[in-house]
Amino acid sequence: MLEGKNVVLAVTGSIAAYKIANLASMLKKQKCKVTVMMTKNATNFINPITFETLTGNKCLVDTFDRNFQYSVEHVSLAKETDVVLVAPASANVIAKLAHGIADDMLTTTILACECKKIVAPAMNTHMYHNPIVQDNLKLLEKYGMEVIKPDYGYLACGDIGDGKMPSEETLLSYIEREIGREKDLAGKKVLITAGPTREALDPVRFISNHSTGKMGYALARAAMLRGASVTLVSGPVSLAKPLFVNTIDVVSAQEMYEAVIERAKEQDIFIMAAAVADYTPKEQAAEKMKKRDGELSMELCRTRDILQTVGDNHREGQFLCGFSMETENLIENSRAKLLKKHADMIAANSLRTEGAGFGTDTNIVTLITADTCEELPLLSKEETAHAILDKILVKYKK
């Protein structure tokens, strides 16, 4: 995702500096160029050699270091950088950046950069809440920098509060969102459904299915990376909520129906990846049903069809993609669904195909529209998500 990109990690004097070694390694695994700059105080927490070993590039500390290729280093670095992450960002460096003070390699380079700058404060909770620090953070945002809110937790000083730098995975997500993908969905509102629904029999038991939500969550993250404003309506899953996505948790098919229909008018693209229950108990027992001799029968009634409702009512300029999980006659059944539901595209897969189905990290889907039928190869669900979005963009623009 980040191959060929240039990332500058600006490390300041905080105990959280040790986390950036792992972040630098994570970035290198994505084949991007990583340059680390450090304040002199930061070198008291972690040795520059660590970063040079991990990145393969010289770690820059001294503005007047003569041991590099001749150029005005802070200017040449600033020109080629795609994003700067200041992490951990001390109160001292935050103040310098807010007021244009450039007295070392790190602050000088950042002031020369025209790319996006992201700042992750890390400090004692009382220092973080000092009104001077808060005013400086607001100044950074005023000048176009993005400030990552620190986590709440146990701090190195022994206090408990907010001021803890977020995890390396979170920091990486901010970088990926900024430069990971072309923003070809910028300005679009995308609603995605994911996961199963649960239809309660009593306070203990429910009817559901094997959906894990992985495909829908991959679609939500992919659309976010491409610049869309994403709403994810999710049934009960064990997945972490994707960052930068508005996630709405629901349980039953009726709750999912209401969440989708309430937001339908404002959307540009719908991707219905959830495995919604087709039937729900006509009556739900108020108390746990006890075992008894003989058979148990229960009357079920149809749930409200979300895809059909959106298909019947979506306006010109909205695009509707449904999903179809089949065990036989994949193309025929999916094309019939496309027509019946008035969808623009169906992403179809077969439970019988190895590498597809519930709970896997891969998928094999066939994308069906009114005039095309394209079978995708075995891909990761992330790759499948981007392939689906590619197809939607092609059809959406026509």
| Residue 85 predicted with pLDDT over 70 | yes
Enumerate the known binding-site residues for CTP: 278, 288, 323, 337, 341
Distance between CA atoms of 340 and 222, rounded to whole angstroms?
A: 28
Residue 230 in 3-state DSSP?
strand
- Least confident range from 60-74, 76-90, 136-150, 212-226: namely 60-74
Scan for tokens 């390699």, then name that residue.
105
Q: Specify the CATH class of 6-180 in words.
A: alpha beta
| Four-CA torsion 246, 247, 248, 254, nearest 10 degrees | 110
Given this model, what pLDDT does residue 13 score?
A: 94
Provide CATH 3.40.50.10300 ranges for the chain: 189-285+300-397
> What's the confidence (pLDDT) of residue 252?
97
Q: What SS3 class is residue 376?
A: coil
66 has a pLDDT exceeding 80? no
- Average pLDDT over every residue of 353-371: 88
User: 227's torsion region: left (phi>0), alpha (psi -120 to 50) or beta?
Assistant: left
Q: Are β-strands 366-368 and 345-350 bridged in parallel, bridged antiparallel, or unpaired?
A: antiparallel
Task: Write down the pLDDT at residue 360.
Answer: 87
pLDDT at 68 over 60: no
Residue 204: both structure tokens together: 């203990």
Please compute, for residue 312, the number of CA atoms within 13 A of its CA located in the half-sphere on the CB side.
8
Q: How confident is the model at residue 359 (pLDDT cuts 50, 70, 90)?
A: confident
Lowest mean pLDDT among 158-167, 275-284, 293-302, 346-355: 346-355
User: Mean pLDDT over residues 130-153, rounded?
Assistant: 97
Which of 2-11, 43-52, 74-83, 158-167 bottoms out in mean pLDDT, i.e. has the lowest? 74-83
Q: How many Å separate Cα 156 from the centre of its chain?
A: 29
345 in Cβ contact with 321 (< 8 Å): yes
Which residues make up the CATH 3.40.50.1950 domain(s) of the chain? 6-180
Q: Catalytic: which of 32, 157, 321, 373?
A: 157
Q: Average pLDDT for residues 153-168, to the nearest whole number?
A: 88
Confidence of residue 155 (pLDDT cuts 50, 70, 90): confident
List the structure tokens of 11.
């490390």
365 vs 294 pLDDT, higher one: 365
| Predicted confidence band of residue 72 (pLDDT cuts 50, 70, 90) | very low
- pLDDT tens column, 219-261: 999 999 999 999 999 999 999 999 999 999 999 999 999 999 9
pLDDT recorded at residue 161: 87
Report yes or no on whether pTM surpasses 0.85: yes
Instruction: Write out pLDDT tens, residues 12-29.
Output: 999 999 999 999 999 999
Residue at 80: amino acid letter: E
Angle between helices 19-29 and 168-179 (to 10 degrees): 40
Of the options 3.90.1150.10, 3.50.50.60, 3.40.50.300, 3.40.50.10300, the CATH number for the domain spanning 189-285+300-397? 3.40.50.10300
Q: CA 366, CA 75: separation in Å to the nearest integer?
A: 49
User: Residue 59 catalytic?
Assistant: no
